[in-house]
Structure 1
Amino acid sequence: MSTTVISELQHDDYPGRGLVLARTPANGVCVVYFITGRSRASRDRALVRAGDSVYARSRSAGAHDPLRHYRAVAVGSKWCVIGNGDQVDAVVANLESVGPSEAVQGIEYEPDPPLRTPRITLVAPRQTGSPLYVSAARASILDPEVTHLSCLTVSDLPEGCGVLTTTYYGIGSEIDTSRPPLEFSTDVGSASELLTAVWESLPADLRVAAIAVQPTSRDPLALPARMA
């Protein structure tokens, strides 16, 4: 049964942070990174562009919190790296000497027990026709002290298809951190439409920020971020 990114997000009471990868007719491969939050500290954030990077920063100039404030997008000459924590910096450094599937190795989930928020990362090539890599470092269901890291290689993503991965799957007050990436279909025509569709599908009272990245464009960060 086919599913859409809109329906998947609308049925998630609290997705946390997420990556939405899709191929659109107008802009080819696009990635949307979004942030939702329940607490005041989580909601006190913005996605701010600085050159070829986008940072999750405090809106109120509060104290730096490494679990909430980090480089979320890094655009390089060969790769765009997008993620929900300081693993983005580590992956960027690793890509100087190894390929993307090796560059994501060694990532641990966030040190925020008992939740143990997953680290999710996407490595997208700047040139067309190359695979994309979606990784997630999650706590083991059987032994939460152990990190299981998965890396999904996405090759030849068809137009109108995509992959969604989130840190959480919320059902009421319950939060599941073990949900794997999901494939979906979409009829959006462009990166801008994908950003709007994702933003409007998030729980309205939890929206914080979202940004679209177009890896193969001259300026992958041309679209302005959406903010609550």
Structure 2
Amino acid sequence: MRSLEKAAGSAGYPGRGLVIGRDEDGVGFIAYWLTGRTAASQQRRLVVREWEIVVEDVSGGPKDDLRHYTAAVRGGDWVVVGNGTQVSELATARRAGNDLQLALRDHAYEPDPPIRTPRIFATASTDGTGVVVGSARAVPGAEELVQHPSLFLEELPPATAVTVRTYAGTAAQVVVDGMPEVVSCQGSWKSVAGIWDVLAPSLRVGLFVVPLDAPGFADDAVVR
């Protein structure tokens, strides 16, 4: 397995990415990061609330659902994290007891041709079980079609995580990704914030890391 840091830093422009896993001590966590290559994408911030984490505009301009959205939702004993409006919809499906691997099939990639940015997401119970990481992405060579790669783990062992990102290329040549990957995760859950250091400084927008078992997001979140 690659390390989390190598996976996160392997693309010059990863777009948005997330990871869900356990640290060396077995503490479950989620993390999410944003990079942006345009002025509009740079003018955003993460706002951490008790039951949700929101990506907000800081320019004073109109709301854009592709750039401003709820990035994480916490239920009583579960979390959902991702890169767009599908987060709130999948959280509703989770509250209803639906299988989110199946619910993901109701979603397509973002309506931003010619890129067709994948919609990525992850969910797990707050005890670190029932982990699902997946995406809705265009089929290479037949971009009008959608595929839904996803990965399910009943339980993650310590020092292991699953990550997925939207892009795998550079800011000059965007390459779509959206394929979940199992990676190694060394150190404590707080050290996952080190992802920030492997992202290109000119592209960084925001990052958060929170433990799964915290009473709420605002209690222990690490935010950049």
TM-score computed with the length of structure 2 as normaliser: 0.92
Structure 1 unpaired stretches of 5+: none
Asked if the contact 1:211/1:223 (under 8 Å) is kept, the reply is no
Q: CA deviation at 1:42?
A: 0.5
The answer to whether the 8 Å contact 2:37/2:171 transfers is no
The answer on 1:34 being equivalent to 2:8 is no
User: Who is 1:89 aligned against?
Assistant: 88
TM-fit CA distance, 1:102: 2.8
Specify the SS of the correspondent of 1:153. Answer: strand
> Is 2:162–2:183's contact at 8 Å kept on the other side of the alignment?
yes
In structure 1, the partner of 2:55 is 56
Alignment of 1:153-168 (within 5 A): 153-168=152-167
CA deviation after TM superposition for structure 1 residue 43, in Å: 0.5
Q: Secondary structure at the match of 1:94?
A: helix
Q: Which moved more, 1:98-107 or 1:35-44?
A: 98-107
* Correspondence for 1:10: 9
**CA distance in structure 1 between the partners assigned to 2:222 and 2:36 by the alignment:** 16
d(CA) in 2 for partners of 1:28, 1:134? 18
| Matching of residues 66-85 of structure 1 within 5 Å | 66-85=65-84
Amino acid at match of 1:32: A
Which residue of structure 1 aligns with residue 106 of structure 2? 106
**One-letter amino acid of the counterpart of residue 192, structure 1:** K
What's the Cα RMSD here? 1.8
C-alpha deviation, 1:224, in angstroms:
4.1
| Equivalent AA in structure 1 for residue 56 of structure 2 | R
1:151 deviates by: 1.9
DSSP-derived class of the 2:107 partner: coil
Scaled by the length of structure 1, the TM-score of the pair is 0.90
Q: Hey, which bits of structure 1, 4+ residues long, moved more than 4 A? A: none
Task: Give the corresponding residue for 1:65.
Answer: 64
The alpha carbon displacement at 1:214 in A equals 1.8
In structure 1, the residue matched to 2:133 is 134
User: Which residue among 218, 222, 226 is the counterpart of 2:219?
Assistant: 222
1:33 touches 1:211 (CA, 8 Å); kept in 2?
Answer: yes
For the residue of structure 2 that corresponds to 1:155, the secondary structure is strand
Amino acid at match of 2:73: A
Structure-2 change in CA distance of 1:9 and 1:151 (3 Å): closer
- Give the aligned residue type for 1:106: D
Change (3 A) 1:205 1:27: farther
